Structure 1
Amino acid sequence: MRPDARAWFEQRTTTARSLAAIDAAALLDAKRRGGHRISVVLPARNEESTVGGLVADVRDRWVRGVPLVDELVVVDSDSTDATAAVARAAGAEVVATTEVLPGVGTRRGKGEALWKSLAATTGDLVVFLDADLLGDVGHYVPGLLGPLLTDPQVHYVKGCYTRPLEVGGAVVPAGGGRVTELTARPLLNALWPELAGFVQPLGGEYAGRRSALERVSFVSSYGVEVGLLVDLLRQGGLGSLAQVDLGERRHTSQSVEALGEMAGQVVATVLARAACARQPSGLLTQFRQDGAGFVPRSSAVAVDERPPMVTVPEYRARLAV
C-alpha cells in the first residue's frame, strides 16, 4: 500500500460496529449546532421482503427516538412487487424514479435512483442504504454520519464491513463481496492506488454532503459506487474521504450471472474514467479481519514479462549453430 493510502487508512477509518460504540446524543448536538438537515435514502427494486423492516427500524430509532433523521425516503425503481406499499406502510416517503424530474426521462439502474434522490430530498447531509439489508443495522445511520458531523473536511463517508456468504446452506464468514475482490479492488489499486485503503469500495452504505454529491456524475448502473469514489477523489482529494467500520453486513446474495453483469458495469465505469489515470501501480492491497479490525496486506501484481524469444541474442546464437 502506498504511504498516502496507508496514512489515510489509519487516520480516516473509524469504528462504529454497534450502537454501544456510538454517542448518539453527541451526534444530535453536533447536528443542531451545525444546523444540518439529514436525509436517509433507500434505493429499492423488488425488495418487499426486507424494505419494511429496515424502514421501520430507521424510523423508530433515528426519526422518533433520537431525531437525527429529518427525511426517510424510498426511491422505487420500477418495482413489480409490493415494495412501494410496504415501505409506505412502514413510515417512509416513497417516490418513483419516473416521478422525479420527469422532464429528463428515466433510465434503468440503481445509480438512477440515487441520482434522482438528490432532487427528491432536501437534506444537506444524505445517507444511502441498500434496501436488502438483513439483521440489526441500526448503527449504520449514526455510524456513517459521525465523520460528517464532527469533521468539516470530510465530504464523503464509505461504510466497510465483513460480508458473510451463504453457499449451499453453509456460511462463509467473509466470503461476500466477490465483485469487489475480483474486479473493483484490482482495478482501483492499479489505476488509483491512493484509494487502496477502502475496504468495500462497492458497498451500498455511504453518506455525503449534498454540496459534494450534486457536483459529480452518477453512473446509472451498478458502476455508481466506484464512479462516485473516483469522481469525489478528484473533486475533493483523499483528505475529503473517510471510512467507517460498521461490523457485519448481510443481504440477499446474487447469482453468478448477476454478479457477472455487475462486474461488467464496474469495468465499464472504470475504463470510462481511466484516461486520466497514471500508469498501473503494480501493488494490490487486500484486507483481512483479525477480530479487532481490518488489516491491510499488499502484494506485487505488476506485469513481469519476457520479450519475444527471437529478440534474445543467446537464443539467436543457438539457432545459428
Structure 2
Amino acid sequence: MTAFWTLQVLNALQHAALLFLIAAGLSVSFGLMGFVNLAHGALYMLGAFIGISVAAQTGFWVALIAAPLAVSAIGALLYLCLLGRVARLGPMPQVLVSFGLVFIATELVRIVWGDIPLVLDPSAALAGRVDLAGATYPVYRLFVICIGAAMAAALWLGVNRTNLGAALRASVENPGMARAIGIRTERMFLLVFTLGAGLAGLGGVVAAPITAANPGMAVSALIPALIVTVIGGMGNIAGAALGALIVAGIEVFGAVLFPAASAVLIYAALAVALIWRPEGLLVAKGAR
C-alpha cells in the first residue's frame, strides 16, 4: 500500500511539473500583461511536434533545446506581427484572435505531421526505472519533475531577484513612470510573451514521450492551464506552481479515490476558488 501511494504522489508531482510549464507563461501574460492568450495551447502543441521532428534527425537532447527556441521565435513573431496589436483592443478581440490561431495551428499540424498520434522516444540515459520507497518509477518521469522544479525556481529568481525582473515589475505596476525612467515597456512585454511561448514549447517536447502528440492537444492542454492560472493567481510564478500542484493532486488522487466523479473534480475546485478567492490564491502585485 505504501508503494501504491508513493506512485500516486510521484504521478501528481510529474503531472504538476507539466502543468506548470504550460501554465506559467499563460499566467504571466494573462496576469502581468492583461493579455488573454488562448493560443498558448497551440504553442504547447507545436513544441511537441517540432521536438519529435528534431529528435528524429538529431536526438532527444538537441530537441529538448531546439523545440523551445523554435516556439519562442514563433511566439515573438506572432506578438510582433499580430498579437501585440490585438493586445490594445481589449479582452474580446484577444480571445477571438488567439483562439482563431488555435484552429489555424491545428490544421497546419494536420497538414505537416498528419492526424496520427506521434510519440517521442527519450534518451537512453533516461530509460529504465528506479526504486523509491518500495515503488519502482520511470527515470524519465523523475526527470520531468526535476525540469519543472528547476524552471519554477529559475523563473521565481528571475522575476524577484534580478534587475530585469525589477524592470518588468515596474513596467507592470506603473508603465508611464517606467517609460519615464528609460525602461522600454513594449520590449519587456515582448520578452515576457516570448519566454511564455518558450515554456509552452518546453512543456510540449517534455510531454511528448509521456502523452502521444496529436492535434487535439492544443485545446486539451489549454483547459487545465487556464484552471491552474485562475486557482493559483494571475501573474505569479509561485501561484502557477501552487495551482499546478493543486490541480494535479485533484486529477491524480481524484481518479484513484473518486473515479466516477474524477472528470468534474477540477471544475468543482475552480468553482470553489472563484467563490472563495476570485483573484487567486496568490496574486502578483500590480497584476492586471
Give the shorter-chain TM-score range.
under 0.3
Bigger radius of gyration: 1
User: If the length of structure 1 is used for normalisation, what is the TM-score?
Assistant: 0.24
User: If the length of structure 2 is used for normalisation, what is the TM-score?
Assistant: 0.25
Compare relative contact order (CA 8 Å, sep 6+) and give the higher one, 1 or 2.
Answer: 2
More strand by share: 1
